[in-house]
Chain A
Amino acid sequence: NAGVTQTPKFRILKIGQSMTLQCAQDMNHNYMYWYRQDPGMGLKLIYYSVGAGITDKGEVPNGYNVSRSTTEDFPLRLELAAPSQTSVYFCASETSGGFSSNEQFFGPGTRLTVL
């Protein structure tokens, strides 16, 4: 299993540009998450999904959109990039149901800089 994969690893955007951060998992997990990590801070939840076709906002959703058309993929879309979106973005997945222990498996992260 590849686990959770993210692309790209690094990206520089200009203010106002848009991009999509890709995330995929091959563990058949229903729950998937997007977090951002600002310098010197812990991770904050942007969006999450409990299954294909179902998404919901986390703590810091402004400026982002997500979709979940399949169990495997959970892309994060940035529209009109702003310097405040400079951060490291992590995708994570988790199994669900009565045996879940909340253990989340993280991707390697995408470092995004908006200039």
Chain B
Amino acid sequence: AQTVTQSQPEMSVQEAETVTLSCTYDTSESDYYLFWYKQPPSRQMILVIRQEAYKQQNATENRFSVNFQKAAKSFSLKISDSQLGDAAMYFCAYGRTGGGADGLTFGKGTHLIIQP
């Protein structure tokens, strides 16, 4: 079974600075997807960024980027120019390819605090 580990229960960063959230995973599959979801106090799960394992290039979405190290099974999220609206829980998730019929596997989350 796949596992996802987020070793930082809480992170704090000053507004406008950069922060990196860590995630490691374990799988025997060679092709899969990895995700970062944001969960603000409203509870809504919002997709931040997605990475296909077969792509070597790291995904980027505006201020959000990932460092995907397939051999190390590491998938960190970098948030640049942190904004107050970035404060939330962040979950790393793993999904198999081919439709992901057995769902996503989530880590326990990292609570990100933005200091004004």
**Which residues of A approach B to under 8 Å, CB–CB?**
31, 33, 35, 40-45, 48, 50, 56, 58, 88, 90, 92, 94, 96-97, 100-104, 106, 108-109, 111
Contacts and interface: CB of A to CB of B under 8 A. Distances in A.
B68 to A, nearest CB: 15
10 contacts: A40-B108, A40-B109, A41-B109, A42-B106, A50-B101, A101-B52, A102-B50, A104-B100, A108-B44, A109-B43
Interface string B100-116: 11111011110000000
Nearest to B97: A102
Nearest to B32: A102
B99 A109 contact: no
Contacts of B101: 31, 48, 50, 96
Contact of B107 (A35, A42, A97): A42
Given A101-B52, A109-B43, A42 B109 contact: yes
A3 B69 CA distance: 33
Nearest to B103: A45
Nearest to A40: B108
Interface string B32-51: 01010000001111010010
Given A42-B4, A42-B108, A100 B44 contact: no
B47 A94 contact: no
B50 A100 contact: no
A108 B44 CA distance: 5
B91 A31 contact: no
Contact of A104 (B4, B98, B104): B104
A90 B108 CA distance: 16
Interface in B60-116: 91, 93, 95-104, 106-109
B99 A97 contact: yes
B33 A101 contact: yes
